Chains A and B, each alone.
Chain A
Amino acid sequence: QKEVEQNSGPLSVPEGAIASLNCTYSDRGSQSFFWYRQYSGKSPELIMFIYSNGDKEDGRFTAQLNKASQYVSLLIRDSQPSDSATYLCAVKSVRSGGSNYKLTFGKGTLLTVNP
């Protein structure tokens, strides 16, 4: 089982719709969960991160975390063509000893928002 899995897509949604991006992870000891957006030919930029079970909202973006199901998702409301990009999920887990961490990325989901 891959450590962090995402559907590669492409996920296509019409403008104004809700885009739902999903990510599952295998390490139950994972502590922090991140969503990055990466436009073609550009570097990743952090959208948001979440620590606790439940929802975290930031503007049009909502991250949802369910540690029992080892599942994290990102909802994008009122999707815009400018949201078309690859969305990377990343999971941070602390290694034994507590001083080091491991940061693992999924391979990303390509989102296309059609005007």
Chain B
Amino acid sequence: KAGVTQTPRYLIKTRGQQVTLSCSPISGHRSVSWYQQTPGQGLQFLFEYFSETQRNKGNFPGRFSGRQFSNSRSEMNVSTLELGDSALYLCASSLTVSVETQYFGPGTRLLVL
């Protein structure tokens, strides 16, 4: 069974731009969570989607948004990029709303210049 896939793997943007990241969960998994990882703040939870509905949200500004499609694929959007948004963005999928059984994808490394 294929694992979680994320595209693109690397991305360079400039301040003020927006970016969309994509995540395809493991087949059959209906929950997708997004995380941001930086050296300074560590791994931080962004939000979780299940059955196309946002079920949980971390403490990030409204510039960070997401959505989930009927096939469970998810996208995350960051608008008006700031230098501090440079990070590794990780997606994780699980069968249900359960972090106990989530599997992480390889991540998208975003650099904001």
Q: Give A residues with C-beta under 8 Å from B.
A: 32, 34, 42-46, 49, 88, 90, 92, 99-108
Q: Which residues of A contact B107 (CB under 8 A)?
A: 43
Instruction: Say yes or no: B100 contacts A88, CB within 8 Å.
Output: no
**Which one of B14-22, B24-32, B40-48, B66-74 is at the A interface?**
B40-48
- 7 A–B pairs (Cβ distance < 8 Å), ordered by A: A42-B106, A44-B90, A46-B103, A88-B42, A90-B43, A100-B55, A108-B43
The reply on B99 being an interface residue by CB < 8 A is yes
Contact present for B42 and A107 (CB under 8 Å): yes
Question: Given the complex of chains A and B, what is the CA–CA distance between A103 and B47 in angstroms?
Answer: 10
B104 is contacted by which of A43, A99, A107, A108 (Cβ under 8 Å)?
A: A43
- The 6 closest A-B CB pairs, nearest first, are A43-B104, A107-B42, A105-B43, A103-B45, A100-B56, A44-B104
Q: Provide the bound-state CA to CA distance between A107 and B39, in Å.
A: 8
Q: How far is the CA of A99 from the CA of B107 in the complex (A)?
A: 28
Given contact pairs A32-B100, A100-B56, A43 touches B90 in the complex (Cβ within 8 A): yes
A43 interface neighbour in B45, B56, B100, B106, Cβ under 8 Å:
B106
Residues of B within 8 A of A (CB): 42-45, 55-58, 90, 99-100, 102-107
CB neighbours (8 Å) of B58 from chain A are 102
| B100-A49 in contact (CB<8A) | yes
| Chain A residues, CB < 8 A from B55 | 99-100
- Contact, CB under 8 Å: B102 / A46: yes
**B43 touching A92 by the CB < 8 A rule?**
no
Find out whether the CB atom of B105 lies under 8 angstroms from the CB atom of A43: yes
